[in-house]
A and B are shown apart, each in its own frame.
Chain A
Amino acid sequence: MTPSSRSMVDLPMLTYSQLFITLRTKLVFCTAVILVIACLLLGWLFVQQQVRSTAESSVQSGTLLAQHLAHMGRSSMMDRNIPRLNQLIQEILAVNPVAYVAIISSRGELQAGFGKGVWEDQFSQQATGQRQFAATQLIQSRLLAGLTSEPLVSAIDLNTGEPVLRPKLELTPGELMSLVGGAELPIFYDITIHVPRYPLLSLWDPALQLTFEERLDEPQVNMTPTPMAPTLVQIGLSTSHLQHGLRRLLWQAVLITLNTLAGGLCIAVLLARRITIPLQSLTLAATKLAGGETVPALDIQTRDEIGTLTGVFNNMATRLHARERELRELAHTLEDRVKARTEELAAANSRLQEIDRRKSIFVSTASHELRTPLTSMKVHLANLRDGIDGAVSDEQRRSLARVEANLSRLQLLIDDLLDLSQIEMGHTAIHVKPVAVGTVIAKAVEDVYPMASERRVNVMITLASDLPEVSADPDKLYQITLNLLHNAVKFTRSDTPVDVSAAPLSDGTVQISVSDAGPGIALEDAEKIFQPFYRVSTTGKKSKGVGLGLAIAKLLVELHHGRLWVETVPGYGSRFSFTLRSIETRRPATAQALPLISPSPHTVRP
């Protein structure tokens, strides 16, 4: 077991240390409880049954003896032949469990009777000369309560020396316990029977019936015997022998119960082990599996639910391992593929960069090469217009002017292309120095004045009073401002103002904004207007330009480590803003940004 898995297994034990009871403990405990209850119940029922059965057997023997005496001594009782009765009683007393024998006359008097042992003293002589038996007094009340010919069985306790009638025949649990402890209980069964009269009168004996029944003074009824108190034979049986048997039986029951309990517990423990050990193995294996370890297949030791569970677990573990292996292989493959694709992309990127570089070189070279003949053409055209090469009519002059204008436009385009290519190639050098923003803005405004006048657009300049100088290349700042201003004047509606403002920001930069009241820019175009040659569809073909101004302005701002953005509301106008570092913030930052910005004019590559 790894430390991690061990800690997972031990976790419940530690967390619920007071409550955690193992399954084995529960099984053994439950089985033990069931066994104890079952054994006690069965044992108790068995003992009760045996007690009852033994008592009944004893009572039956006593009843037989009493009936024998009643039968044998019937005529002697009628004849009051006491010597004969005494002889019969002595014969009965010779039987071992018989404790006393008494014959009670129909008048309730003791006719004859003797006792053995402790019962000898219970026969006393009265002053009248009549003998009396103490136990008879106890039975009389019961006899009067129910006068039947059935034997009357009572239990008498002689614990105090005086006979006491017990409420029931069976021994109480406490008495049984004391019996187990070896005590001898002075309990006796008293069996009292009626001395039977001869069954008189068969149904067909009219002579005898007539003899018995014919009376003139009494109503003649059908043979109802005159109820009269019967003669009784009372026999007492000692329960000593019964108690010995019960004691032996109780001990046997206790031993059997203990043996059953011990055997049952052993079986329960074995059964619990048989259940819990495979479960523990499963738990351990599952913990290892959860920890990512490889788990060997568990042995299926039993062909039952736990065996099935083990089989299912083995299946699951095998599948999990296979999936893990597949994933690992897939991860390896994916890494290789990503690596290959990255290399492919890097190569493509290099190729594209090379193509872009070559394009920029081409554009730069082509622009550069186009500028020379274009300059020559403009010189010669100026000479023609100025009449240096001969007189020109007014018509020719106007044509020449148009050609010159177009050449100027072409030159501007070529200049823009050249600038863009130079910036993209990183060949643009910026010469940073403190620049007064207001001066640059005023110059740019002045340069767009003719165009603004032509379109009846007022350009308003708003400068903050605390506007600091910015650290920038003045020419590039002029070009940025001019491009933005040119666009604003070009796209704003006639007779609307274009605002140019500059203000310091709290972060130490200066924000320069150009606002117009033009048609604005759609949201989908706002991200793309800074790309080269991108023209917003709403501008139409009437607007001149190829879409390089904003791209150049953005690249130039970024060369100054600034940021250019646009805020626009379609239909209401746009505001282009950019930031530049003020001279105050740049100074302390100089030392920090020393590798990128030097005090002397330098070239910054993006």
Chain B
Amino acid sequence: MLPFLPLFILFCFTTLWGTVHAAEIAILKSADLTYYDHAIVGFKAGLPPMMKVNEYNLDSQLTRGREIGESLRASPPDLVLAVGLKAAIAAKLELFDTPVVFCMVLNPEAYSLPTSNMTGIAVRAPPVTQLAALRSLMPNRHRIGVLYDEEQTGAFVREAINVASHQGFELVSVAVRGQEDIPRAVSRLLPKIDVLWLIQDQVVVSESAIPFFLESSLNAKVPIFTFSSTLVQQGAVGALVLDPWTVGQQAARLSLARLRDPGTSAGIIEAPDRSQWALNVKSAESFGMTLSPELIRLAGQVFSGEGPRTHKLDPSDQIP
């Protein structure tokens, strides 16, 4: 039986490819942004070679997206990949039967995404993944503080509270209504926690608040765990960061699955398959922490005060 195994695998692949090789995919891109382009490159890299792909750019205009969506409805492709919020909204408003996969959308729930013909890939890693990563980074710190806006990340925080209690963490959450609440909330929160978890919340994380988070963290000797390599570079200890290329690859896999079976994963949002580690060795030292060599080896970006020391990207280094 064993000698026939490769032949069997080859048969399965050719059979599977054969069902989708003639499909036509339309890509709707919200704007000319680098990370959108990287996601698209990752997506295309995950498709079979003979797949026909048409790319449309909305140029940040929803109306243009709707016009494109209307034309696609008239002559529908086999699948639509929407990259970015406006592309996803345009697809939602104009395409009702065509399978749509969207990615690079920060808060899809806020815009009633996905619909029944849509499948999405979340930008944020789920709380369980993030808390697990936090534990591997700072195993001795149990009190986790988090700031959030109810509308933006209320559901995420509630799920995180559940997960934390299961994992033995004490998650101290403070809701804010606007940026003006942040200084006071931070002042109140920092004395109660061992680590500040900055989640991807558009109210909490702003250009003006970041310096304050970083300085306050330094002054209070409370390390920050976050989602941004920039914040890690500027003083946070570690982060699980998004990799658009990997998201694109995941979108390709999901698209192929939906082409084979349009009902697969319809109406749900998948968590990102893999996230990348970003670590700041200097910050860790300043907070009295020692990062394990294995973690540093796995990290995609390591900062040590002299700029990022970027590791070669390897999917195996990414946190599943």
B30 touches A75 (CB 8 A): no
- Choose, from A206-214, A448-456, A583-591, the stretch at the interface: A206-214
- By beta carbon, the residue of chain A nearest B105 is A214
Shortest C-beta distance, B183 to chain A (Å), equals: 5
- Choose, from A194-202, A235-243, A262-270, the stretch at the interface: A194-202
* Contact partners of B208 in chain A: CB under 8 A: 78, 197
Shortest C-beta distance, B90 to chain A (Å), equals: 11
Bitwise interface map of A from 18 to 35 toward B, beta carbon under 8 Å scored 1, else 0: 000000000000000000
| Residue B219 lies at the interface, judged by CB distance under 8 Å to chain A | yes
Bitwise interface map of B from 191 to 208 toward A, beta carbon under 8 Å scored 1, else 0: 000000000111001111
| Residue A74 lies at the interface, judged by CB distance under 8 Å to chain B | yes
A74 touches B106 (CB 8 A): no
Which of A195-236 touch B at CB < 8 Å? 197-214, 216, 219-222, 225-226
A214 touches B202 (CB 8 A): yes
B229 touches A205 (CB 8 A): yes
Q: How many B residues, CB 8 Å from partner?
A: 48
* Contact partners of B50 in chain A: CB under 8 A: none
| Residue B227 lies at the interface, judged by CB distance under 8 Å to chain A | yes
* Contact partners of B211 in chain A: CB under 8 A: 74-75, 78, 197-198
A219 touches B60 (CB 8 A): yes
B215 touches A220 (CB 8 A): no
Please measure, in the bound complex, the distance between the C-alpha atom of A221 and the C-alpha atom of B89, giving whole angstroms.
18
Q: Give the interface residue-count category, chain A.
A: 20 to 34
Please measure, in the bound complex, the distance between the C-alpha atom of A126 and the C-alpha atom of B160, giving whole angstroms.
50
Bitwise interface map of B from 238 to 252 toward A, beta carbon under 8 Å scored 1, else 0: 000111100000000
A204 touches B229 (CB 8 A): yes
A206 touches B38 (CB 8 A): yes
| Residue B162 lies at the interface, judged by CB distance under 8 Å to chain A | no
Bitwise interface map of A from 427 to 471 toward B, beta carbon under 8 Å scored 1, else 0: 000000000000000000000000000000000000000000000
| Residue A305 lies at the interface, judged by CB distance under 8 Å to chain B | no
Please measure, in the bound complex, the distance between the C-alpha atom of A103 and the C-alpha atom of B64, giving whole angstroms.
47
Which of B82-102 touch A at CB < 8 Å? 84-86, 89
Please measure, in the bound complex, the distance between the C-alpha atom of A204 and the C-alpha atom of B241, giving whole angstroms.
10
| Residue B28 lies at the interface, judged by CB distance under 8 Å to chain A | no
* Contact partners of B227 in chain A: CB under 8 A: 207-208, 211
Shortest C-beta distance, A168 to chain B (Å), equals: 35
A198 touches B214 (CB 8 A): yes
B215 touches A214 (CB 8 A): no
Shortest C-beta distance, A209 to chain B (Å), equals: 6
| Residue B187 lies at the interface, judged by CB distance under 8 Å to chain A | yes
| Residue B230 lies at the interface, judged by CB distance under 8 Å to chain A | yes
Shortest C-beta distance, B160 to chain A (Å), equals: 17
Q: A75-B212, A79-B212 are in contact. Are A210 and B230 (CB under 8 A)?
A: no
Q: A74-B211, A200-B230 are in contact. Are A211 and B60 (CB under 8 A)?
A: no
Q: A197-B207, A203-B34 are in contact. Are A221 and B242 (CB under 8 A)?
A: no
The residue among B89, B106, B211, B216 with the most chain A CB atoms within 10 A of its own CB is: B211
| Residue B295 lies at the interface, judged by CB distance under 8 Å to chain A | no
* Contact partners of B212 in chain A: CB under 8 A: 75, 78-79
* Contact partners of A79 in chain B: CB under 8 A: 183, 187, 212
Shortest C-beta distance, A555 to chain B (Å), equals: 145
A202 touches B123 (CB 8 A): no
A74, A75, A80, A210: the one within 8 Å of B123 (CB): A210
Q: A210-B35, A211-B106 are in contact. Are A225 and B207 (CB under 8 A)?
A: yes
| Residue B308 lies at the interface, judged by CB distance under 8 Å to chain A | yes
Q: A74-B211, A75-B212, A197-B208 are in contact. Are A209 and B89 (CB under 8 A)?
A: no
B38, B89, B233, B241: the one within 8 Å of A207 (CB): B241
Please measure, in the bound complex, the distance between the C-alpha atom of A204 and the C-alpha atom of B228, giving whole angstroms.
10
Bitwise interface map of B from 169 to 205 toward A, beta carbon under 8 Å scored 1, else 0: 0000000000000010001000000000000111001
Q: A75-B212, A207-B242, A209-B35 are in contact. Are A201 and B202 (CB under 8 A)?
A: no
- By beta carbon, the residue of chain B nearest A210 is B106
B61 touches A205 (CB 8 A): no
| Residue B104 lies at the interface, judged by CB distance under 8 Å to chain A | yes
Shortest C-beta distance, A359 to chain B (Å), equals: 145
A216 touches B207 (CB 8 A): no
B234 touches A198 (CB 8 A): yes
Shortest C-beta distance, B210 to chain A (Å), equals: 6
B35 touches A208 (CB 8 A): no
* Contact partners of A75 in chain B: CB under 8 A: 211-212, 215-216, 219
Q: A205-B228, A205-B230, A206-B35 are in contact. Are A200 and B207 (CB under 8 A)?
A: yes
Shortest C-beta distance, B225 to chain A (Å), equals: 13
- By beta carbon, the residue of chain A nearest B205 is A211
Q: A197-B207, A220-B30, A221-B60 are in contact. Are A207 and B228 (CB under 8 A)?
A: yes
A80, A201, A203, A211: the one within 8 Å of B200 (CB): A211
A207 touches B123 (CB 8 A): yes
Please measure, in the bound complex, the distance between the C-alpha atom of A208 and the C-alpha atom of B85, giving whole angstroms.
15
A216 touches B215 (CB 8 A): no
| Residue B8 lies at the interface, judged by CB distance under 8 Å to chain A | no
| Residue B128 lies at the interface, judged by CB distance under 8 Å to chain A | no
- By beta carbon, the residue of chain A nearest B107 is A214
Q: A79-B183, A210-B104, A211-B202 are in contact. Are A219 and B61 (CB under 8 A)?
A: yes
Please measure, in the bound complex, the distance between the C-alpha atom of A541 and the C-alpha atom of B35, giving whole angstroms.
154
A205 touches B33 (CB 8 A): no
A201 touches B230 (CB 8 A): yes
* Contact partners of A216 in chain B: CB under 8 A: 62, 85-86, 89, 111
Q: A74-B211, A197-B208 are in contact. Are A222 and B229 (CB under 8 A)?
A: no
| Residue B31 lies at the interface, judged by CB distance under 8 Å to chain A | yes
Which of B21-80 touch A at CB < 8 Å? 30-35, 38, 60-62
Please measure, in the bound complex, the distance between the C-alpha atom of A226 and the C-alpha atom of B179, giving whole angstroms.
15
Shortest C-beta distance, A35 to chain B (Å), equals: 57
| Residue B231 lies at the interface, judged by CB distance under 8 Å to chain A | yes
B38 touches A220 (CB 8 A): no
Given contacts A212-B205, A214-B202, A219-B60, 13 further A-B contacts (CB under 8 A): A79-B212, A197-B208, A203-B34, A206-B242, A207-B123, A210-B200, A210-B242, A211-B200, A211-B202, A214-B84, A214-B106, A220-B86, A222-B34
List A residues at the B interface (Cβ < 8 Å): 74-75, 78-80, 197-214, 216, 219-222, 225-226
Shortest 3 CB-CB distances between A and B: which pairs?
Answer: A206-B35, A75-B215, A219-B60
Question: What would 30 A/B residue contacts be, using CB atoms closer than 8 Å?
Answer: A74-B211, A74-B215, A75-B212, A75-B215, A197-B208, A198-B210, A198-B211, A198-B234, A200-B207, A200-B230, A203-B34, A206-B34, A206-B38, A206-B244, A207-B123, A207-B200, A207-B242, A208-B227, A208-B228, A210-B123, A210-B242, A211-B201, A214-B85, A216-B86, A216-B111, A220-B33, A220-B84, A220-B86, A222-B33, A226-B207
